[in-house]
Amino acid sequence: MGMIEKRNYENRAKIFTALSDPTRLRLVDLLLSTDEISCSEIAEQLEISLSLSCHHLKVLTEAGLAKNYKKGQARYYSLDRVVLNSTLESLSSFMKGLGTGD
């Protein structure tokens, strides 16, 4: 297995780990419904603390699923739809491969 292929698997594993939490799944769902949103708005909409919201956003950002920028005192987040789509497509291909061995 080449280094690039190994890194690809590691990146996907990090993404799947980030998506394994119910709150982060809700957060991804929220990000899917908007172009960008602030951390405090996310906390309010998900009815969680601001610190918990920031923690979950950090995990998603480190996995490559979320992007952010700072505007004044607020930090705004958006979903990297290309990364999410690519990851889900790779999972779909994997699942199709499992079905071809019959």
Strands of 1-102, DSSP E: 37-38, 66-71, 74-79
Work out the pLDDT band at 95, boundaries 50, 70, 90. confident
Q: What is the pLDDT of residue 102?
A: 46
CATH topology of domain 3-91: Arc Repressor Mutant, subunit A (1.10.10)
Mean pLDDT confidence for 58-68: 96
List the domain boundaries for the chain.
Answer: 3-91
Taking phi over 0 as left and psi of -120 to 50 as alpha, with beta for the rest, 34 belongs to: beta
The pTM of this model reads: 0.84
- The structure tokens listed for 11 are 């990146």
- The structure tokens listed for 12 are 């996907």
Is residue 16 within a helix (H) or strand (E), and if so which, with residue range? helix 3-18
